Structure 1
């Protein structure tokens, strides 16, 4: 075989190989384009160019679709937190800034309707507006002080109204909580002054109660001393000089006990009596 014939055979082989490779590449691309994955916490809504949004959403896993004709749109169906700030007025016309933490998820049975009406960013389109609407309506029913003392009740009412409102857009509200509540500077200063006044009033009340108790204690003590003097006087009148003699003996015993502890005192016997003498050298 000549070199020319060998070169022509090699060229034909390379051309056939290139055709096969091209076919395999196109086939691989077609297979890859017809597969899509749905991760955990997600669902896929299929849009068909001829039939529109298909009525069944795809669950988690790998699925097939018709390339070019069908397109898979992945929707997040997990419970998602969102912080929504709002500035509104209370019943007594006090401005308050509220930050509401809302946990939401889409209704699994209405994903096609949500995608058709709102798109993939459904919560961004609807949730801030309806939350602000509900917040303003609920807060306007309470005074500024009630927002502080009835915080749980306010949160529960916001949750009930927001759940009802979100149902119109096929959302499910899992939880609602007020994470931040701040009033204007003037109202905050008024609250501080009120607290100081209440503390002063409690302190004054305590002083009054203390004085009253001390007065009562003094009265009781005076009555006790008066009663004691009366009893002693009566006992002295009835017993004659006997009680006085008893008191004299008790006083003598106390004096003897006191002198007995001193080193400068000496004891000298004198008949039936004990004489005391002071030692000047000590």
Structure 2
């Protein structure tokens, strides 16, 4: 053992450590791995935990299974041949049971977005937009989104991509149609205002009729009182009202008395102290 060099021990230990590290792979929670040996992907995804692999001739591609979010633009024509553009925010994740096929067919996550999600978003938007006019697409935005979601989910499912949620970030249409929509809204507002004014006038007219009916009824009752009581009470009431409303002074001479027919005969009373009888 004369020729033994301590440096050789260090080299051996380093090789053993390197061999050990290249033989083990750790998959963290929220991840899945695909084992490839000599460039060929093996069936069965590697889920979270420690896994052993052949050193130097194998590799493991790790995929993130947590929720991913990307914004994807889309453009289409509506049923009435109006241009409609949109931008969708798409939340998705990879199916852990399908990551091996994803690795074989799409490769990286960037390829999944550019080669699968983006074109399928475009096609799904065309399906949803072609079912309605541009005005319906704007006023029935939730229905448009529902049709888009259904089409996109079905198209991406076969690629091992699970759509969790989508949202319409932006929805635009041509300036000509925007002006037409604005003019229509103004016309509708004017029409609604006209209806309101007409109803208000109708209510006011009805109120006038009711007031007229009430006044007529009051006059009828007044006439009946005049007839039943010879008009005395009514005349006295009207005289008092006339004095009150006209600002007249109380008369200096008050007329009262008994008549031959059993009625009241007038007599004169001088309120200033002079009397005549």
Q: TM-score, normalised by structure 1?
A: 0.78
Aligned to 2:207: 217
Mapping of residues 72-87 of structure 1, within 5 Å: 72-87=60-75
CA 245–182 in structure 1, closer or farther in 2 if over 3 Å, else same: same
Structural mapping, 1:165-204, within 5 Å: 165-204=155-194
Task: Give the drift of 1:273.
Answer: 6.2
Do structure 1's residue 32 and structure 2's residue 13 form an aligned pair? no
Q: 2:56: which partner in 1?
A: 68
SS at the partner of 1:174?
strand
Cα deviation for residue 209 of structure 1 reads 1.7
**Structure 1 residue 230: Cα displacement:** 3.6
Aligned in 2, Cα 1:251/1:18: closer, same or farther, shift over 3 Å?
closer
Distance 1:258 1:276, change over 3 A: farther
Q: Does 1:143 align with 2:133?
A: yes
Mapped partners of 1:101, 1:42: distance in 2? 23
Counterpart residue number, 1:275: 271
Contact 2:225 2:234 in 1 (8 A): no
User: What CA distance in whole angstroms lies between the structure 2 residues aligned with 1:259 and 1:84?
Assistant: 91
Between the aligned partners of 2:234 and 2:121, the Cα distance in structure 1 is 93
Unaligned runs of 5+ in 1: 1-8, 261-271, 278-282
For 2:270 and 2:21, the matched residues in 1 are separated by: 128
- When residues 193 and 274 of structure 1 are mapped into structure 2, their CA distance, relative to the original with a 3 A threshold, is farther
- Distance in 2 (CA, whole Å) between partners of 1:30 and 1:258 is 125
CA RMSD of aligned residues (A): 3.0
Note the C-alpha offset of 1:73: 0.8
Which residue does the alignment assign to 1:126? 116
Report the secondary structure of 1:81's partner residue. Answer: strand
Aligned partner (choices 235, 239, 262) of residue 229 of structure 2: 239
When normalised by structure 2's length, the TM-score is 0.80
Select which of 16, 27, 30 maps to 1:41.
Answer: 30
Residue 227 of structure 1 deviates from its aligned partner by: 3.4
Distance in 2 of aligned mates of 1:161 and 1:38 = 33
Cα 1:102/1:235, change in 2 over 3 Å: same
Cα 1:62–1:215 shift into 2, 3 Å: same
1:188-245 residue CA offsets vs partner (Å, 9 max, x unmatched): 2211111111111111112222222222222332333233334323432342242345
